[in-house]
Amino acid sequence: MTVAREIMTPNPRCVGENETLVEAARLMASLDVGALPICGEDQRLKGMVTDRDIVVKVIAQGGDPASTTAGSLGEGKLVTVGADDDVREALEMMRTHQVRRLPVIDGHDLVGIISQADVALALSSQETGETVAEISE
């Protein structure tokens, strides 16, 4: 059995819930990523923010990314998978919730992120294709 820990990208960088979206965007650019976990003052995962969220939910609506905090976009129920959960459970979570990136937790600690690229590197082309197709519906 392959577990989430084995295919995840470890040690993800977080944007603080009180940091602005400009700071989040700069961090995304420096890391060459399109999404970041949002972590609270207590270092617990509060949500995810994507480059698309910043554009569609803030800039396109006339909002100011220099005064809008990352935490304000950490909405809804957070979808995660346990580090020692079977990778197929992670894939099912990604499919069901149509998310391209899935935070991996160990207890209450964020330990990694599973992305579509991680799935593609770890699984068969058929499983990868099915997962990507279902996420993108």
Mean pLDDT score, 39-65: 93
pLDDT at position 114 is: 94
Q: For the segment 15-30, what is each residue's pLDDT rounded down to a tens digit?
A: 999 999 999 999 999 9
Per-residue pLDDT tens for 92-133? 898 899 888 999 999 889 999 998 888 777 777 777 676 666
Q: Letter for the amino acid at 104?
A: V
Rounded to two decimals, the pTM is 0.84
**Contact (CB, 8 A) for 38 and 15:** yes
Residue 134 predicted with pLDDT over 70: no
What six digits make up the tokens of 103?
């935070």
CB contact at 8 A, 68 and 91: no
Domains of the chain: 4-135 (3.10.580.10)
Contact 46, 15 (CB under 8 A): no
State the Cα–Cα distance between residues 106 and 2, nearest whole angstrom: 16
Q: How high is the pLDDT of residue 108?
A: 86
- Residue 16 pairs in a beta bridge with 39
CA distances in angstroms from 98 to 73, 106, 115, listed in the order given: 18, 22, 12
The C-alpha angle 42, 45, 51, rounded to 5 degrees, equals: 125
Distance CA 9, CA 118 (A): 7
**What's the distance, CA 83 to chain centroid?**
14
Q: Sheet containing 15-16: give its strands across.
A: 15-16, 35-39, 45-50
Helix axes 125-135, 87-97, angle to 10 degrees: 30
* Identity of residue 65: P
In this predicted model, what pLDDT tens digit does every residue of 54-96 receive, in sequence order? 999 999 999 999 999 999 987 767 899 999 999 888 888 988 9
